[in-house]
Chain A
Amino acid sequence: MTSQPSRNWAWGLALLGALLAPLVVGNDFILHMMTLWAIYSLLALSLNIIIGYLGELSFGHAAFFGIGAYTSALLVMNLGLPVWWGPVLAGVVAGLFGLVIGFVALRIVGPQFAILTLGFGAILQTITNYWVDVTRGPMGISQIPAFRIDSLGLDFALAQNMYFLALGFLVLGIYACRALEKSRTGRAYVAVRENPELAQSIGIDTFRTKWMAFTVATAMAGVGGSLYGHYLRVITPELMSLTYMSALVIMVIVGGKGTTLGPIVGALVYIVLLEWLRAVGSWRMVVFAALLIGCVLFLPGGLVSLWQRLLQRRGRS
């Protein structure tokens, strides 16, 4: 284990690199990919709270991403609220959904929890798909206003601006996850994951602990959804589908669950491969599936554990 200060240094350097990157890149397309990477990282981090810290598999996480995207777009467009209210309200509404659904679903653990969250996700997607009066149905919502600061002339529909905004939210997300990891609450999560009975016996309220983490995770996914909607400016109920659910799970597992770096690495791998393999069409998802299976079978700690393995090997020789 690396010591704490040197880790903070590493994060600081990474942030500096990320801030300076656009100077070096200067290519709009790559900046666009990097912006998506930051947004996906935030989403993957939020799912990681459930998979990595709570040790439960949620198959409904994409629904909260969708709720965030729809809440933000609809409130801003229909009520004429300033666009900056979007992410806040998206987080609150997705968190409220998470609060209610978590209250119900967390009574059950293991495979049934995964199935139940899958069910909630499917209901939310069905409603989004068929409540045409509000959500405009399968066609989705287009021409969603982008974030902008008129006084400075900043238009966040452009990748060169949005990148920094998304990065800002990602940094907040990372900070929150790291703080959570080190706090009493975070340690309580781990205790509940490793041994619920023992955790309960030392006075941890297992249910409330899980409930809170679930709510935080869903709120975070909602914020991610809002950013995604106002950046790409088109959303469809497809966001809540099994495709996005699997994508998020792949990011967390391939990157490395239970770590802060893992989901970010996973999101990078996902984005890069998605673009790189565009030419092969349907075979693209086959590669992702193979990657997921490969990690499950041979690399349970995900890609970030390769680094640790390498360090250990060097230490031994």
Chain B
Amino acid sequence: MVFLQQVINGLANGMGYVLIAMGLTLVFGVLRIVNFAHGEFYMLGAYATYYCLKVLGLGYVPSLLLATVLVAAAGIAANRFFFEPLKKEHEFTILLSSLGLALLMTNLAEAVFGADPKYMDTPYSDEMINLGDITVTQQRVGVILVASVLIAAVYWFIRYTRMGKMMQATAQEPAGAALTGINTRFVHAYTFALACALAALAGALVGPTAMLFPTVGDWAVLKGFIVVVMGGLGSVTGALFGGLILGVAESLGGGYISMGFKDAIGYAIIIVVLLWRPNGLFNPPPMRK
């Protein structure tokens, strides 16, 4: 039963990782950007939800939606000012620019929101659900359910909508996509906004299960990187399985080995994965030269 309890907790964490990693992998797939600042949008989402709850006094669901919209808008701005000017540059430069953006956002957050940890309590964070011997908070169940729906929606969106197909085309061959009349700039902005919205939702959903502080974005992006590298950069399916594997592995490792080393487990996994299959477990599209 302890085992099952750990697995359920792991799945709830894993779902959060999946939401973070999906954005990261979409941005890499479509824009070819490894966005070090991705975790900061998670952080922004969590803080925006917190302030909507505390300051504006909105309910949890409206707060979550408002936060998502705000962060998506911030994402569009970030893409416009930090990544679009570097479109033609080496990936090295883009990675550095995103590192700069990450530092900027973390420290601005610290200056504006304060460094003290905040705790966001939602109506669901203290309510327990008992399933036999397993006890889960409603918040965690909510994370699993909402994230599952979101993941399904993203899949459907990419596969069946016009915009999703345009994103696929841009990911496969930007020049070709542009030739067929796709406005790739718009597709890029759209993808970035979608990725940031997913990160913000993750922040709003997972935020209430832990303390909130300005450097939480570092944590989020590190987890996202692990998942994305495990599953393969650019692969959405990889992000899904990678996130769940990481969540469960951490939870079991934390329960049976040591809580302290929990955070190192993910890195141990990616080191093995990268040595064995450098392009990740879920065959991403072949790496661009």
Contacts and interface: CB of A to CB of B under 8 A. Distances in A.
Interface residues of B, number: 40
A114 interface: yes
Given A111-B34, A289-B104, A290-B104, A297 B86 contact: yes
Contact of A126 (B34, B225, B264): B264
A187 to B, nearest CB: 21
B57 interface: no
A281 B106 CA distance: 14
Contact of A242 (B95, B218, B263, B264): B218
B225 A282 contact: no
A116 to B, nearest CB: 6
B92 A57 contact: yes
Contacts of B86: 296-297
A292 B99 contact: yes
A296 B226 contact: no
B110 interface: yes
Interface in A31-61: 55, 57, 59
Interface string A99-125: 000001001101110111011101100
- A contact patch SS: helix
A111 B35 CA distance: 10
Given A114-B34, A286-B111, A289-B100, A122 B264 contact: yes
A107 B103 contact: no
A289 B226 contact: no
Contacts of B92: 55, 57, 110
A249 B278 contact: no
A289 B92 CA distance: 17
Contacts of A281: 111
B91 A111 contact: yes
Contacts of A120: 267, 271
Contact of A119 (B95, B218, B270, B275): B270
A29 interface: no
- B contact patch SS: helix
A293 interface: yes
Greatest chain A CB density within 10 A among B95, B218, B268 is at B95
B196 interface: no
A119 B226 contact: yes
Contacts of A288: 103
Contact of A104 (B82, B226, B260, B271): B271
B34 A115 contact: yes
Interface string A114-141: 1110111011001101100000000000
Given A57-B92, A283-B107, A296 B264 contact: no
A297 B97 contact: yes
A292 B96 contact: yes
Greatest chain A CB density within 10 A among B82, B91, B101, B104 is at B104
B264 A286 contact: no
Interface in A208-266: 242, 246, 249, 253
B96 A253 contact: yes
Interface residues of A, number: 39
A283 B229 contact: no
A51 B274 CA distance: 21
Contacts of A284: 107
Given A123-B268, A126-B261, A282-B115, A104 B99 contact: no
B258 interface: yes
Contact of B99 (A112, A119, A246): A246
A112 B104 contact: no
B132 interface: no
Nearest to B263: A126
A181 B271 CA distance: 32
A77 interface: no
Contacts of B96: 57, 249, 253, 292, 296
B46 to A, nearest CB: 18
Interface of B: 34, 82, 85-86, 91-93, 95-97, 99-101, 103-104, 106-108, 110-111, 115, 218, 222, 225-226, 229, 233, 258, 260-261, 263-264, 266-268, 270-271, 274-275, 278
Given A119-B267, A123-B267, A286-B104, 18 more contacts: A57-B92, A57-B95, A104-B275, A112-B229, A112-B274, A114-B34, A119-B270, A127-B264, A130-B258, A246-B99, A249-B96, A282-B110, A283-B107, A286-B107, A286-B111, A296-B97, A297-B86, A297-B97
Nearest first, the 6 closest Cβ-Cβ pairs linking A and B are A289-B103, A130-B260, A293-B100, A289-B104, A285-B107, A111-B34
18 contacts: A57-B96, A108-B278, A111-B233, A118-B225, A119-B267, A123-B268, A130-B261, A249-B96, A282-B115, A285-B110, A286-B104, A286-B108, A286-B111, A289-B101, A289-B104, A292-B99, A296-B100, A297-B86
